[in-house]
Amino acid sequence: EVVLTQSPGTLSLSPGERATLSCRASQSVGGNYLAWYQQKPGQAPRLLIYGASSRATGIPDKFSGSGSGTDFTLTISRLEPEDFAVYYCQQFGSSATFGQGTRLEIK
Amino acid sequence: QLQLQESGPGLVKPSETLSLTCTVSGGSISSSIYYWAWIRQPPGKGPEWIASINYSGNTFYKPSLRSRVTISIDTSKSQFSLKLASVTAADTAIYYCARRTEQVVPRAYYFDYWGQGTLVTVSS
């Protein structure tokens, strides 16, 4: 099973700043099989990025994904109040797995 | 707009079987590019995929849960279901049903629609 490790655990930033979230896999992941989700309290996760870098329908271009192999990044430019949430990376291998999440909080 | 809705008991006793159903509306459950999944999330932790099934009954299970999990589908009712046997307190979580979509070119997979989730507590 592929283990995904996200860093940092918590990221404290101010509105208007840029957020960089990391996801590292324990073994190589096909780039097309890596997704990112946003989760707000009391809600289900929401798909942001799939295939490592493709934005899901309706997701603004301030969200961007990159990476390949074992290292992936989610970047959020120009943070707005509604962007403060928990973010998860997820991979589809022989068994789908999620990271433990990065909490993005207002500084 | 596709909607998924979980239903089932919110409280299950230890050693008993947890049973949940997901009803799909606003779209077809019978398409070759979709698998239908159960995902759970213990309080304060990340999501955990449990199992997936497609319209023809092909299944995938998380290896560590396989011995206790059964996923099934009823396309005539647009429903799919989860049974988790011999539950313990460790199985307490919010259980989500979700749709896994396969993009053919370039090949990619993602969970694009989720239910609102249902909290299942295992306690006597």
Q: What number is the average pLDDT over the span B46-72?
A: 97
- For B110, the closest of A1, A35, A98 (CB atoms) is A35
Higher pLDDT, B107 or A11: A11
Contacts of B96 in chain A (CB under 8 A): 44-45
Strands A10-13, A102-106: pairing kind: parallel
Q: How far is CA B42 from CA A1, A69, B95, B101, B120, in A?
A: 19, 29, 9, 24, 10
* Nearest partner of B54 among B69, B81, B82, B32, judged by Cα: B32
Comparing alpha-carbon positions, the chain A residue that sits nearest to B38 is A96
* Distance (Å) from the alpha carbon of B55 to chain A's nearest alpha carbon: 19
CA B112 to CA A39: how far, in whole Å? 13
- For A96, the closest of B49, B96, B117 (CB atoms) is B49
At A79 the pLDDT is 97
pLDDT band at B105 (very low <50, low <70, confident <90, very high): confident
State yes or no: pLDDT of A81 exceeds 90. Answer: yes
List residues of B whose CB lies inside 8 A of any A CB: 37, 45-49, 52, 60, 62-64, 96, 98, 103, 106-112, 114-117
Strands B93-103, B34-41: pairing kind: antiparallel
Whole-number average pLDDT of chain B:
96
pLDDT band at A31 (very low <50, low <70, confident <90, very high): low
Longest dimension (CA), chain B: 49
Non-local (6+) Cβ contacts of A15 within 8 A are A79, A80, A81, A106
pLDDT band at B97 (very low <50, low <70, confident <90, very high): very high
At B73 the pLDDT is 97
Q: What number is the average pLDDT over the span A72-83?
A: 96
- For B112, the closest of A56, A88, A98 (CB atoms) is A56
State yes or no: pLDDT of B46 exceeds 70. Answer: yes
Sign of CA dihedral A105, A3, A34, B34: negative
Comparing alpha-carbon positions, the chain B residue that sits nearest to A42 is B116
